[in-house]
Chain A
Amino acid sequence: MVSSLSMTVDLGGIKMRNPLNTASGTFGNGVQFEGFYDVGATLGAITCKGVAAEPWDGNPAPRLAELPSAIMNSVGLQNPGVHGFVGRYGAYLAGLREKGCQVICQIAGHSIDEYVRATELFEELAPFASGFEVNISCPNIAAGGAAMGATPRAAAQVMAAVRPHTSRPVVVKMAPHDVAEIGRALESEGADALSLINTIPGMAIDINTRKSRLARATAGVSGPAIHAIAVRMVWECAQAVSIPLCGIGGVASGADAAEMILAGATAVSIGTANLYDPTCAPRILAELEEWAEDQGVTDINELIGAFEC
């Protein structure tokens, strides 16, 4: 059938042709997926791997363990720094913009100063960025990361520090706790949108060696197993703030994405599914469109937060 359905959404000023985005760290910087489908012609946006002002090595091996319907990772934001990132991927990402796919660059830091420095560098060097995602929730780094987003006060301080350094939309990637309270604090400091959830800290112990199955004692759990938790947190956050949300957590089907939208997400990121099912995005998009049509709407926005309880 010829569709009259509008899939366009606005994630805090980032105008997306459809709600599909990618979770940072699960999508490389897009180019790795070009053999699977036309990234720029398919997705509403991509969120790039977190990048700091200077290069980070990341954590030692092993960084990965598999769990039932989930994985655990402790990559620790290995990245080439803003200069290296722009040099390697800038031309490709500018090409995505030309195809109508928004590019969200993720900002990482160990301290408020580092977040600000990375933001300044991105402002200067990344004209292709449609907006930024400030990662205050990585569970796998010793300083900064999740610690920066652990309390409403700490989260608000990062947001307040970054805000004056860019006029482009700023999304904040939240940790999986206290999302209503922290969300309100971020909104009050000028966040344009929130993305949630980051991975849930967990542990996997090798009972024979009595050591962690990963190089670090704790690591972030992601994948289908955490989807229901993520939907609940999106719903809680949506009720607390008026800025748009990007729902992340175990999305592997159009139905999973639809749940996020009903819970209150304007956009939906595919995360871990990109790794094991790298062709999933076009399928998820088709399933999402089919669902919206079945719901009898002409605009996907009518379904955002349409959960009935």
Chain B
Amino acid sequence: MGTASVAEQEFSVLLNEQAAEGIWRAKIATPVAASIASGQFMNLRVPGDGSHILRIPLSFKHADAKANTIELLYAVVGEGTKRLSQMRVGGVSTLVGPCGRGWWLPKTEGRALLVAGGVGLPPIFAAAQQLADAGIGFDVVVGNHTAERHLVKEIDELRSMTAGEVCDCERRVVVCTDDGTLGLNGFTTDGMKELIETRAYAQVYTCGPNVMMAGVAKMAMEHGVACQVSLERMMGCGFGACSCCNVALAKGGYALCCQDGPVFDAQEVAW
């Protein structure tokens, strides 16, 4: 019922640089690193414009509980994320977190298939790490409009993430672009199709544009594979106080993205 563990914490910027076209990579120092789980998010206050009152909800790529640091990747899409991209090393502010419900491990044995579209990559990266830590094998599909938007460093890291591989089949990271400038010329669902038709999976994890996730969820369900989706909504608070970030449910009615999600079982969602 409650999210009483959500608290306000300070953060300071350790790194903040452009990673790809329209995408920034940041590292922050914050105590929330010790308690945040894979797939959860934080709600950041960005200083510099008092008239922009709402915080910015951001998922994360990696949290280091020992070092108290969190690695972020974010798209600069509006005034708030633009100001975030202008925060300098040493800059301080506050965040609210850890927010929401994150990824869960597959409920049955077997490999996982991870599908990331655009800036949906950071939470998918966190899921990959969670699976690797649990010794669960996985394949990844990473898609973008064009090569310039691909996060090359993260793709390389996914390729080298071998810890805990339990499957004797070759692990694959499939890169695709809508315009064919890198990897497979097509959507993530095209890359996913080949994998899901040839390999057995226990779980699909996906994050990206809503229309992509709808396609991924549909394909997973058609193949009888459980699917977790990390949804994005405009948020007022991030911790269940305002009911602004509703997600329509298949059974009717709404859940709240910030409190009941952002990770949902794809079957629960009304696509």
Report which A residues bind B (CB closer than 8 A): 25-28, 31-36, 49, 55, 57-66, 68-71, 73, 75, 78, 88-89, 92, 223-224, 272, 274-276, 278-279
Contact = CB atoms under 8 A, between A and B. Distances in A.
Interface string B192-229: 00000000000000000000000000000000000000
Interface string B231-249: 0011111011111111110
Contact of A63 (B50, B243, B252): B243
19 contacts: A27-B241, A32-B3, A32-B241, A35-B4, A35-B6, A55-B253, A57-B252, A57-B253, A61-B233, A62-B234, A64-B234, A64-B235, A64-B242, A71-B54, A75-B242, A75-B243, A78-B254, A92-B1, A272-B53
Task: Name which of B5, B234, B247, B252 has the most chain A CB atoms within 10 A of its CB.
Answer: B234
Contact of A224 (B4, B6, B53): B53
A28 B238 CA distance: 11
Contact of B243 (A35, A36, A49, A224): A49
Nearest to B79: A66
B237 A278 contact: yes
| Interface bin, chain B | 20 to 34
A31 B5 CA distance: 10
A151 B244 CA distance: 29
Contacts of B96: 278
Nearest to A66: B54
Contact of A223 (B53, B237, B240, B254): B53
Nearest to A70: B53
A272 to B, nearest CB: 7
Given A26-B242, A32-B241, A78-B246, 11 more contacts: A32-B6, A34-B2, A35-B4, A35-B5, A55-B253, A58-B243, A62-B234, A70-B53, A75-B244, A275-B241, A278-B96
Nearest to A55: B253
A67 to B, nearest CB: 9
Contact of B240 (A25, A28, A36, A62): A28
Contacts of B242: 25-26, 28, 64, 73, 75, 275
B45 interface: yes
Interface string B29-50: 0000000000000000100001
A62 B241 CA distance: 16
- At the interface, is chain B mostly helix, strand, loop or mixed? loop
Nearest to A56: B253
A275 B236 CA distance: 6
B7 interface: yes
B96 to A, nearest CB: 6
B52 interface: yes
Contacts of A278: 8, 96, 237, 239, 241
B108 interface: no
B101 interface: no
A60 B247 CA distance: 8
Contacts of A61: 233, 245-248, 254
Nearest to B8: A279
A71 to B, nearest CB: 6
A281 B36 CA distance: 25
Majority SS of interface residues in chain A? loop
A32 B243 contact: no
A33 B54 CA distance: 17
A46 to B, nearest CB: 11
Interface of B: 1-8, 45, 50-55, 96, 233-237, 239-248, 252-254
Most buried by A among B54, B236, B245: B236
Contacts of A66: 52-54, 234
Contact of B246 (A63, A89, A272): A63
A88 B1 contact: yes
Given A63-B243, A63-B246, A89 B8 contact: no
A78 B243 contact: yes
A276 B245 CA distance: 14
Given A64-B244, A224-B53, A32 B235 contact: no
A59 B244 CA distance: 9
B53 A71 contact: yes
Centre residue among A35, A55, A71, A78 by max chain B CB count within 10 A: A35
A89 B7 CA distance: 20
A68 B51 CA distance: 5
A1 to B, nearest CB: 28
Contacts of B254: 57-58, 61, 78
Most A CB atoms within 10 A — which of B3, B53, B237? B53
Closest 8 CB pairs of A and B: A64-B244, A31-B2, A34-B4, A28-B241, A275-B237, A35-B7, A68-B51, A275-B236
Nearest to B236: A275
B53 A64 contact: no
A293 B52 CA distance: 32
Q: Which of A58, A59, A75, A276 counts the most B-chain CB atoms under 10 A from its CB?
A: A276
Contact of B53 (A69, A78, A88): A69
B4 A32 contact: yes
A32 B239 contact: yes
